[in-house]
Structure formats: structure tokens, C-alpha cells
A and B are shown apart, each in its own frame.
Chain A
Amino acid sequence: MNTFQQQRVRWLIALAFGLGAVGHADVLPEDRSDVLYHRYDGGGLTVQGPSVLVRKKFGDSFSASYQYYEDLISSASIDVVSQASAYKERRTQNNVGLDYLRGNTLYSIGWINSNEPDYKSNTGFFNISQSMFGDLTTVSFGFAEGWDKVGEVSKGVFQKFVGDADHRNWSVGLSQVLTRNMLLGLNFEADENNGYLQNPYRGVRFVDPFSGKGYSFGAAVSPNTRTGIAGSAQLKYYLPWHAAVDGNYRLYNDTWGITANTAKLGYTQTLFTDWTLEASARYYWQTAANFYSDLFPYQNSQNFMSRDRELAQFHSLTLGLGASYEFHPAWPRWIDKGTLNFNYNRMRIDYLDFHNNLILSAVPGDEPLYTLDASVMQFFISFWY
């Protein structure tokens, strides 16, 4: 069995769970509840499960929120098939948050706990947001810190913890009304990671003339620090036929040598009085980490080595469609309105230096490049009260 909990910082959840970087500071978030079913299917991996988000105001100054999230994972991905065997597992996550509004300032705090058989994570966060200049401008600042414990599972049985990882994240955001039809959002984040930052289940591939395939797998070693910065800008424009168009660009860079660009375009169109349709296209590309290689020349050829395909050079395109239907139930009377929502995204990743080693080749490293096609589906129902 080969399970893996990616070193992913939960504070990103935090930054928006309570607030959203481009929210308005002088109002509390709306009272609403969402029940969602999600499903990812691609590359031999299926992840599906439910999620529930509940938010409620208390008095004029407080709003509390709770989210439950679950992943049911069934994996036979190329990484798993290459170095271990298919597996199934379950991950649960609980978020709690509290917002306090005082004047034009919104204070948010929260806690996130994530639990998997071989990965435990806790994150605390704080966010402050202030609106100014006649509510045309909202600035926010956030800090989060997370503590992870990374372990190993074999044949469904927990084996041992292999290390700890600590994360810290700082963020600033700006939301600006530019015209009566246009909004601008700017976000900047810096994060710092220390500890065990690699996947305990993934090895590196190296040339081995004594192996029948011409290569073998060995242990991967990643640096135990990683610092990254990301900046993004987004624009949203209202169109006179009750539609909106938006654009988003993000630049990312970190000390592992990864530089990434993300560009996204979206279009939202209302139809009749109760339908909202959405379409989006997202393009992403990144350089490889300094210590990444698909095939190392021999075992232990470098101090740091990785074959994690998330650290490879690749580009990807994701096309999305969504539909939402609004209704006003007669009962129960405390519900103001509800929406039924369906979103579908089709994602394709083209790796530029990660080869499909499941296809036999006379010369190691000459296998075709790996590509990933995935479907991402969401169905959810929302209520406002």
C-alpha cells in the first residue's frame, strides 16, 4: 500500500475560510449553508466525498462558520503502480472560524484540523480587514501557522511518523472599486516551510545497468526548507446585458527553483431570472525544481533528488462550465432562497520532463512523456437564511 499526504499548507484554507482576500470589511459574511459532493477522476486516481459549510451571524458583530470536508481516495496512479500497489483511504477535515466586526474593521480567527491515517495537520489563522475611502478600498492582512506530522502506512496499518513540518504564511490583499462597473483585486503571499517536506512514498529513478529495465528506484531527498512568494491580480467587469467577465494572473516563485504562471479568463451570464451560467479557461505553466530529474545518472548522484511530478516542468489547460438555478422555497419560511449548482472542469497536464515509465523502452528515459487527463465535478446546494 502506498498512501501519500502531500505537503500542502492548510493556511490557504484559512485565509479565505473566514474572510476571502477581496471581501468587504464593513459587513459580516452572509448567513448561508452549502452541501457539496465532489469527484475527481483522472490518472488512475479517484477522489470523491461530501463537504458541508455552515455560516451564521450572532447579533450585529459576530459570525461563526464551520466546515466539514471528506475525501474518499482510491488510487492506482502512475506513482503508486510504479513503486507500490493500489490503495484506498479516507481523509477528513474540520474548520471552525469566527468573525468580529467593529466599525469598518473585520477580525477573523480560526482553526483547521486535517486527519489522515499517516498525516495529521493543524493550522491556526488570523486575518484583519479594513475598508476605507468610502468603502471603495478594502485592505487585508493575514497570518497563519501550521503544524504537520508526516507518517507512513503499509497495508492499511500505520507504521511510524517520519517527520514534522511547520508552515508560516503572511498575506496582504487589496480590493478596489475602479469604476461603477469594474473591480480590482490584488493579493500577495509569502510562505515559509520547515521540516520534512517530501513525500515518503515517492522515490527517484536512476540508471541501473544491472536491472532488467535499465533503471531502479532509490530514496528521494528534498531540502528541509522552502520559501515561496506569490502575487496575483484580478479584474472583474460588469457587462450591460447582465453578465460579467473576469481575468486573473498569478506569478509564483520559490527557493526550490520553481517559477509558475497562471492565467485565467471567466465569463458569467444570467439567463431568464433564475439561471446563472459560467465558463472559464485556465492556463498554468511552471519550471522544474533545481533538484528534480526524471532519471538520475546513478544512485545518490546528488545531495537533493526528487522525481515528484509536481516539481517537474509542465503546462496544463483547464476548461470549466457551470450552471446555477435559484429558487425560493415556500417552506421552511426562514429560508430566503436557495441555489442548485453544477460545475464541471476538464483538466489536461502535459509534462515536459516526466516520462511514462510504465511503457517499456529499450533505453531508460526514452519513454513517451506522461500526460494526465482528469474530470473534476461538483454538485452542491446552497441556502441563504
Chain B
Amino acid sequence: MMVSKRQTTAIVLLAGLLLAGCSPIQPWVKPYEREHLADPIMSFDRSPISSGYLDHVFEVREGARGATGSVGGGCGCN
């Protein structure tokens, strides 16, 4: 069976990709490059007590809930 040049190229590329999966993933953002990410203003939830309260204010007045990644709590009054 003859293997075309294009097929050979595809096989080599595929093999390369598969072999790359055997090596550990290298972090593309090094620890010393995370200064900005470590800044408190980059936190998704800087004050859980506050975001939790606000989430609950919405939750008791809306039909949707969940997937906020934050705290609930509070009453659900008329």
C-alpha cells in the first residue's frame, strides 16, 4: 500500500500530538508571573459575608438560583 506524502505528514503530526500528551503540562503562567492574579481585587469573592447576603436578596425574589459560586442566606419574606 502506497502512503501519500500528505498522509505521511498527517501521521507525523498526529503522532507528535499523541506523544505530547505523555509529557507533563507546563504551566503557561509561571508562579513568578502571578502577581496580578494574587492581588485581592482579582478575587471572585472578596467578601463572602457580603456577596452571600446580596445573592440571597436576589434569590428570594427571583425564580432562578444557583451557580453563583457564592453564599446564600437570609429570609425569604413577602
Q: Which residues of A contact B (CB under 8 A)?
A: 2-13, 15-17, 20-23, 34, 36, 38, 40, 45, 47, 51, 53, 67, 69, 71, 73, 75, 77, 79-80, 89, 91, 93, 95, 116, 133-136, 169, 171, 173, 175, 177, 179-181, 183, 185, 187-189, 191, 201-202, 228, 230-232, 234, 236, 238, 242-244, 246, 250, 252, 254, 256, 258, 260, 262, 268, 270, 276, 282, 284, 286, 289, 310-311, 316, 318, 341, 343, 345, 347, 349, 372, 376, 378, 380, 382
- Cross-chain pairs A/B with CB under 8 angstroms, 21 sampled: A8-B72, A13-B73, A16-B69, A21-B69, A22-B45, A36-B49, A38-B53, A51-B73, A69-B73, A89-B77, A134-B25, A181-B37, A183-B37, A201-B78, A268-B41, A276-B40, A284-B58, A310-B63, A318-B58, A347-B57, A378-B54
A308: nearest residue on chain B (CB-CB)?
B63
Asked whether, in the complex, the Cβ of A36 is within 8 Å of the Cβ of B50, the reply is yes
How big is the B interface, by class? 35 or more
Which residues from 33 to 75 on chain B have a C-beta closer than 8 Å to any C-beta of chain A? Answer: 33-34, 36-37, 39-42, 44-45, 47-50, 52-75
Check if A20 sits within 8 Å of B77, measured CB to CB.
no
CA distance A250 to B65 in the complex (A): 10
Q: Which residue of B37, B76, B77 has the most chain A CB atoms within 10 A of its CB atom?
A: B77
Q: In the complex, are the beta carbons of B39 and A238 less than 8 A apart?
A: yes
Chain B residue numbers with a CB within 8 Å of A171 are 66-67
Please determine whether B77 and A4 come into contact, CB atoms closer than 8 angstroms: yes
Minimum CB–CB distance from A337 to chain B (whole Å) comes to 11
Does B44 contact A230, Cβ atoms closer than 8 Å? no
The reply on B29 being an interface residue by CB < 8 A is yes
Are the CB atoms of B71 and A13 closer together than 8 Å?
A: yes
A244 contacts B72, CB within 8 Å?
no
Q: Are the CB atoms of B44 and A185 closer together than 8 Å?
A: yes
Instruction: State the CA gap A175–B66 with chains docked (Å).
Output: 17
Decide if A45 touches B67 in the complex (CB within 8 Å): no
Q: How far does the Cβ of B6 sit from chain A's closest Cβ, in whole Å?
A: 34
The answer to whether A51 and B67 touch across the interface, beta carbons within 8 angstroms, is no
B55, B58, B65, B78: most-surrounded residue (chain A CB, <10 A):
B78
Contacts of A286 in B (CB 8 A): 62-64
Most buried by B among A6, A77, A89: A6
With known contacts A16-B70, A260-B64, A238–B42 Cβ distance under 8 A = yes
Contact B47 A34 (CB under 8 A): yes
Q: How far is the CA of A343 from the CA of B55 in the complex (A)?
A: 13
Beta-carbon contact of B27 and A187 below 8 Å:
no
Compute how far the CA of A95 lies from the CA of B45 in the bound complex, rounded to whole angstroms: 18
**In the complex, chain A residues whose CB is within 8 Å of the CB of B37:** 177, 180-181, 183, 238
Contact indicator B62/A310 (Cβ below 8 Å): yes
Chain B residues with CB below 8 A from A15, complex form? 69
State the Cβ distance, A375 to closest chain B Cβ, in Å: 11
Residue of B nearest to A90 (CB): B75
Are A8 and B58 interface neighbours, CB within 8 A? Answer: no
Contact present for B34 and A180 (CB under 8 Å): yes
